[in-house]
Amino acid sequence: MMALASDAKRARAGSPSNLEDMQIDLDNLPPVDPALLNQLSMRLSDKLQIFIQDVPGTIIESRLLTDFHYAHACQTSERVRQAILYEHVIQDLKRENDLNMSLIARKYFVEICKDPQIYQELQDVRLLYSRFCSCCYHFIQSVNEAKRNSWCLSLAHIINCFYLNSSISAQAGDKYSLDQQLLGRFRCKALLMVSEMGTVAFTSGEVSSSIVIGNDYIVPGLKAFSLHPFAGDDSILEKVREEWCQCLDQSSLTEDDSDKLAD
């Protein structure tokens, strides 16, 4: 819940479509010069072309690029995408110190956002995009930790990723989230690797390390499986249970180690 609240805070911060920011007197702007309006139209068109051009092959997830790419890929309404496009053009104009043109663009942006449904959808998309970025961050970190054989950290990141991704799917549908099946397969791999680390540590006499791995990583991992199960998960969970049961049955624990397990 704290992560989602943080997402909401980030989504609101610096957002040109906040209601407070919309309380500027745009209605009393002088009539728009047709030439300026044409320039604005060209700016919007140019920005759109930049956004929809082919994504470089090195980018594996185009939805990460901007909130516009995310909204476009998720097939949000045309008016919402238009509002997002205006936001980007407004920011470009401000960076160029073209305040006159930015005010004109702002006027049209606010007109779009006067529709409560459009405004709410825009806020929802922004929040979903923020959450999606966090989700992708955890997935990338999980993969990177796996490459370094840091499977405990990899499992922790993939679990965070899975919770975020599931919340996105529950709120808006699968087209707004990452592939759940892909995450599910990687989650299985990470859990099996961490379980193996724990049992190896246990049989090697490193009971304390094994307990830490179990409590801090395996137990939360099992909980994530139970909350968001997939077909095939049962066999993975059964394998983990069998590994630990076999490990405990074959071990000759000292009294001190038995006390640690009891605790």
pLDDT at 2 (0 to 100)? 38
d(CA 35, CA 158): 52
pLDDT in tens, 198-220: 988 888 888 888 888 988 998 88
The residue behind tokens 């990141």 is 157
pLDDT at 172 (0 to 100)? 92
List own/partner pairs for 245-248 with CB under 8 A and 24 or more apart: 247/199, 247/202, 247/203, 248/202
pLDDT at 59 (0 to 100)? 42
Token pair, residue 146, equals: 């796996």
d(CA 214, CA 199): 9
Residues 138 and 187 sit within 8 Å (Cβ to Cβ)? no
d(CA 74, CA 79): 14
pTM above 0.85, yes or no: no
pLDDT at 24 (0 to 100)? 45
Q: Which residues of the chain have pLDDT under 50?
A: 1-24, 26, 29-30, 56-60
What is the amino acid identity at position 207? Answer: V
The 3-class SS string of the chain reads CHHHHHHHHHHHCCCCCCCHHHHCCCCCCCCCCHHHHHHHHHHHHHHHHHHHCCCCCCCCCHHHCCHHHHHHHCCCCHHHHHHHHHHHHHHHHHHCCCHHHHHHHHHHHHHHHCCHHHHHHHHHHHHHHHHHHHHHHHHHHHHHHHHCCCHHHHHHHHHHHHHHHHHHHHHHCHHHCCCHHHHHHHHHHHHHHHHHHHHHHHHCCCHHHHHHHHHHHHHHHHHHHHHCCCCCHHHHHHHHHHHHHHHHHHCCCCHHHHHHHHC
pLDDT at 52 (0 to 100)? 60
d(CA 23, CA 226): 48
